[in-house]
């Protein structure tokens, strides 16, 4: 699905999926906006330490 079209933005149902999608689109050499919506503890803690 990601290789067939170029998207301006991709909304994912959760943060972990968003991180995986972000990794994949980087491999495909384009950078759409990517977001997840569940606010998981992992993501909140990960980005707090960065």
pTM exceeding 0.75: no
Task: Report residue 43's pLDDT band, with 50, 70 and 90 as the boundaries.
Answer: confident
> How large a percentage of the chain has pLDDT more than 70?
86
Q: Is the pLDDT of residue 35 over 80?
A: yes
Q: Which residues contact 15 (CB under 8 A, 6 or more apart)?
A: 36, 37, 38, 39, 40, 42, 43
Mean pLDDT of 28-45: 82
């Amino acid at each position: 699905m990601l290789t067939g079209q170029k998207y301006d933005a991709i909304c994912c149902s959760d943060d972990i999926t968003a991180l995986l999608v972000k990794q994949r689109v980087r491999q495909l050499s384009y950078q759409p906006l990517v977001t997840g919506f569940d606010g998981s503890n992992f993501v909140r803690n990960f980005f707090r330490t960065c």
